[in-house]
């Protein structure tokens, strides 16, 4: 289908984008990569009167280090996240996740901020941002605010973001012992189920046995929005950092979740089974990153 008519404006700065958004009076939409918004417009599920293009605002792109924090600009495309030497070195789970999104065309146009604002229930970044405990930076007419990933994802295509606000960046502390594992939907490569696990490991005193001090496990694809697997996180605390122990802790992963998706890609029962399997894969992937 052909979208309904709209005006197009290219923003030159964050302030310019916010001014243009305010001027559109609630019927304007930001566009970054257009890989989620344009399909919605073609289906007439979204009919903005003005598109404000933020893809070329230099302050919104790039990956930098600010002390012990890594900051990824919201308009950074998935390809740049996937190939970032800084992320590969300091927080490889984020680069891995970006590299598993879609295909090369999607990765060269789609952006981190677009993915978070759109909040597709099968998007990859949300699980990983929950696992690394990221903060979402937001700017609006009233100034800037920071929202923890755990509070940002609220429901189906619903996040803590007003229609006159813009995501500027995502910030997180580096996490080495972390991995993302997903069951791909074969055509789009969206996640049927995706699990991101981040572990904090302590060196034990007895025979230098390592144990899991704490864990954060994010899940996407399974319910209306990305959530933490609290039961698995609790079961991992204090356990030996071994493949057997994490597999045991992941038994029954997601069993307490209601509203598991049941669609043409996978039944509820299949997704339930896959949550456990991909939890174990993500946890074992994380253990493989413990430096010897
Ligand atoms: P756009 O389409 O430009 O915008 C999407 C929404 O976000 C709009 O509402 C827009 O107003 C808003 N927005 C954009 N930027 C901002 C900002 N900075 N602040 C506030 N609001 C903003 N995703 C996955 O996670 N995994 C996959 O495997 C995957 N496969 C895909 C396969 C195909 C064929 C396609 C077309 C898409 C796929 N995607 C996948 C989605 C892809 O990652 C999108 O690029 C992403 O979800 C949206 O990013 P975008 O920059 O294209 O956003």
Q: Report pLDDT digits (tens) over 16-53.
A: 999 999 999 889 999 999 999 999 999 999 999 999 99
pLDDT, mean of residues 253-259: 95
**Pairing between β-strand 69-73 and β-strand 63-66 as defined by DSSP bridges:** antiparallel
Rounded to the nearest angstrom, the distance between the alpha carbon of 97 and the centre of ligand 1 is 14
Q: How far is the CA of 113 from the centre of ligand 1 (A)?
A: 8
Q: How confident is the model at residue 3 (pLDDT cuts 50, 70, 90)?
A: confident
- Cross-strand pairs, 158: 155
Residue 79 has a pLDDT of: 98
* pLDDT tens for each residue of 86-118: 999 999 999 999 999 999 999 999 999 999 999
11-15, 24-28, 119-123, range with the lowest pLDDT = 24-28
Closest residue CA from atom 30 of ligand 1: 102
The pLDDT, as a whole number, for residue 205 is 62
The binding-site residues of ligand 1, defined as CB within 6 angstroms of any ligand atom, are 29-37, 54, 74, 101-102, 106, 110-111, 113-115, 117-118, 120, 123-125, 166-167, 188-190
> How far does the centroid of ligand 1 lie from the alpha carbon of residue 122, in Å?
12
* pLDDT tens sequence across 211-255: 999 999 999 999 999 999 999 999 999 999 999 999 999 998 999
> Residues 142-149: what's their mean pLDDT?
97
Task: List the residue whose alpha carbon is closest to atom 24 of ligand 1.
Answer: 123
Q: How far is ligand 1, taken at its centre, from the CA of residue 148, in Å?
A: 20
Mean pLDDT, the chain, rounded, equals 96
Look at residue 189 and tell me whether its pLDDT is greater than 90.
yes
pLDDT higher than 80, residue 175? yes
Give the per-residue pLDDT at 291: 81
- The DSSP annotation for 200-242 comes to EEEE-SGGG-EEEEEEEEEEESSSSS-EE-HHHHHHHTT-BSS
Spatial separation of the C-alpha atoms in residues 175 and 191, rounded to whole Å: 22
CA of 240 to the centre of ligand 1 (A): 39
Q: How far apart are the first and last CA of the chain?
A: 55
At residue 208, the pLDDT reads 66
* Contacts of 254 by beta carbon, 8 Å cutoff, 6+ apart: 219, 222, 229, 260, 272, 275, 276, 279
Quote helix, strand, coil % in the chain, to nearest 5: 35, 30, 40
Q: Which of 6, 21, 13 is nearest to 163 (CA)?
A: 21
- Mutational pocket test of ligand 1: of 100, 111, 116, 265, the residue with most ligand atoms within 8 Å of the beta carbon: 111
Q: Say if CB 55 and CB 33 are below 8 A apart.
A: yes
Burial, 218: exposed, middle or buried (Cβ in 10 Å; 0-12, 13-18, 19+)?
buried
**pLDDT bucket at 292, cuts 50 / 70 / 90:** low
- State the virtual CA torsion across 81, 177, 200, 65 in degrees, nearest 10: -30
pLDDT of residue 256 exceeding 80, the answer is yes
- Closest ligand 1 atom to residue 46 Cα is 9
Residues forming a β-bridge with 236: none
Q: pLDDT category, 209, cuts 50, 70, 90?
A: confident
Bigger pLDDT: 168 or 252? 168
Give the pLDDT of residue 2.
Answer: 87
Contact present, 83 and 183 (Cβ < 8 Å): no
Cα distance between residue 97 and residue 78, in whole Å? 9
| Residue nearest ligand 1's atom 47 by CA | 115
High-pLDDT (> 90) share of the chain, %: 95
């Amino acid at each position: 289908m052909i979208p309904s008519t709209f005006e197009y404006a290219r923003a030159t700065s964050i302030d310019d984008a916010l001014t243009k958004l305010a001027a559109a009076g609630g019927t304007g939409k930001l566009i970054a990569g257009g890989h989620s918004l344009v399909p919605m417009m073609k289906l007439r599920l979204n009919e903005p009167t003005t598109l404000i293009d933020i893809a070329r605002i230099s302050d919104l792109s790039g990956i930098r280090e600010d002390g012990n924090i890594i900051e990824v600009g919201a308009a950074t495309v998935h390809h740049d996240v996937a190939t970032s030497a800084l992320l590969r070195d300091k927080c490889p789970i984020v680069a891995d996740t970006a590299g598993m999104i879609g295909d090369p065309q999607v990765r060269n146009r789609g952006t981190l901020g677009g993915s978070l604002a759109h909040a597709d229930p099968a998007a990859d970044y949300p699980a990983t941002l929950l696992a690394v405990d990221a903060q979402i930076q937001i700017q609006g007419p009233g100034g800037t605010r920071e929202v923890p990933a755990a509070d940002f994802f609220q429901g189906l295509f619903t996040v803590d973001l007003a229609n006159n606000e813009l995501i500027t960046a995502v910030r997180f502390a580096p996490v080495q012992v972390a991995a993302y594992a997903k069951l791909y939907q074969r055509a789009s490569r969206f996640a049927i189920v995706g699990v991101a696990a981040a572990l904090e490991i302590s060196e034990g005193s007895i025979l230098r046995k390592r144990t899991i001090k704490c864990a954060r496990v994010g899940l996407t694809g399974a319910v209306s929005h990305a959530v933490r697997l609290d039961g698995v996180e609790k079961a991992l605390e204090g356990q030996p950092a071994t493949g057997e122990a994490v597999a045991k802790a992941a038994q029954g992963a997601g069993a307490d979740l209601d509203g598991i998706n049941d669609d043409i890609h996978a039944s509820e029962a299949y997704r339930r089974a896959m949550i456990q399997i991909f939890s174990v894969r993500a946890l074992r992937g994380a253990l493989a990153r413990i430096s010897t």
